[in-house]
Amino acid sequence: MQNARGLVWYSERRSLKTKVTPVDRVDRKLTKVDRRRPDRDTMEKAASIIKEGGLVAFPTETVYGLGADGMNPAAVGKIFAAKGRPSDNPLILHLSSPDGALGLARLDGRALAAMRAFWPGPLTIVLPALSSVPREVTAGLSTVALRMPDHPVALALIEASGCPIAAPSANRSGRPSPTDAQAVVSDLGDAVDLVLDAGAVDIGLESTVIDASGEDVLLLRPGGTPLEALEEFFGAPIKTPGSGAPEARRSPGTRHRHYAPIVPVRIWTPCDALIAATDKSGFVGRLRGGGVPPGFARAICFDSAESYASGLFAAFRALERDCSEIVAEWPEADGVGLALRDRIRRAASPDA
């Protein structure tokens, strides 16, 4: 958020630290890049920052990532510091091809087949880690999470850097993920060395995370790859780690607060009456028919589950500016709806 004097600030609510970053310093770090044909000079400049141990925010098809050389423990440490990310939450290593997984993880036929089928794309695969992977990346787990993003700028950056890029979403820990470069700037200010701005992302929610390190494939986080597509591919229902699953195989990230705007989020189920809590309530959802529902100050409506997913986080960031609460429509559970439900539920119960 920016105030009238052009300063970026954060609300104290929900324990985000107040931070003021002069806008000219931030603007110097924003570099426009053509989404389809990233130019070589820009990508080489970005890659040299990665190789020197710096931080580059870059677009993927899911959300913007905050990248560092995944084989450099000091650089990886900067990601945790910039985000305020709990150190027990491991990072995903981003690759430019399935071959990049050799030397990082123990691969079997099932993992290779899944990579060939779903990469590049919004699927992260957790596999047994080889000793080459820094413990700062895995947060001390015996597994590592790998993904090949489906975005020309991300792939060009990984190629030019010549290393796997460790990258969580480029937001302060706990906040909605950034779906455009401006959101990165407003959350991370000058903690990042360069922001590659290729416009808004396509999917708008993070990758699906599966654990394929054991006998059963487990769903650790619903995301951009629909569960239905995974179950068809693996030919069996995919379980979520429940109380019966070994604790070590749970995704640590799911224990942490996530996706929360600075105002409370309330869930609305379409079979209930839609009632505003205050005259400054904002609405986000599909709400067939459009318009601002009676009693609400603002509404951001979408015409499909996919556009709801791609616009959810930007809507949270837009509505938190001038609304005192956000009412979010509870979507159907199929396709991307499962991931949407997960993000909305966690935004609505930020201390969960």
Instruction: Catalog residues that contact Mg ion under the rule CB under 5 A.
Output: 168-169
Rounded to a whole number of angstroms, the minimum distance from the CB of residue 214 to ligand AMP is 11
Of these partners, Mg ion, ligand AMP, none, which one is at the site of residue 264 (CB under 5 to 8 Å by kind)?
none
Of these partners, ligand AMP, Mg ion, none, which one is at the site of residue 220 (CB under 5 to 8 Å by kind)?
ligand AMP
Which residue's CB atom is positioned nearest to Mg ion? 169
Sequence-distant (6+) residues with CB within 8 A of 232 are none
- Which residues contact ligand AMP by CB under 6 A? 89-90, 92, 124, 126, 138, 141, 143-145, 168-169, 206, 209, 220-221, 251-254
Q: What three-state secondary structure class fits 69?
A: strand
Of 86, 246, 259, the C-alpha closest to 267 is 259
Compare residues 168 and 226 and give the one whose CB is closer to Mg ion: 168
Compare residues 59 and 168 and give the one whose CB is closer to ligand AMP: 168
Of these partners, ligand AMP, Mg ion, none, which one is at the site of residue 323 (CB under 5 to 8 Å by kind)?
none
Paired sense of beta strands 30-32 and 194-197, if any: parallel
Rounded to a whole number of angstroms, the minimum distance from the CB of residue 78 to ligand AMP is 15
Rounded to a whole number of angstroms, the minimum distance from the CB of residue 54 to ligand AMP is 19
Q: What is the DSSP string of 266-307?
A: EEE-TTS----SSTTEEEEE--TT-SPPTT-SEEEE-SSHHH
Distance (Å, whole) CA 221 – CA 123: 10
Rounded to a whole number of angstroms, the minimum distance from the CB of residue 203 to ligand AMP is 12
Of these partners, Mg ion, ligand AMP, none, which one is at the site of residue 144 (CB under 5 to 8 Å by kind)?
ligand AMP
The first and second tokens of residue 349, run together, are 């119960």
Of these partners, ligand AMP, Mg ion, none, which one is at the site of residue 2 (CB under 5 to 8 Å by kind)?
none
Rounded to a whole number of angstroms, the minimum distance from the CB of residue 324 to ligand AMP is 28
CA Rg, the chain, in Å?
A: 20
Sequence-distant (6+) residues with CB within 8 A of 244 are none
Distance (Å, whole) CA 261 – CA 278: 17
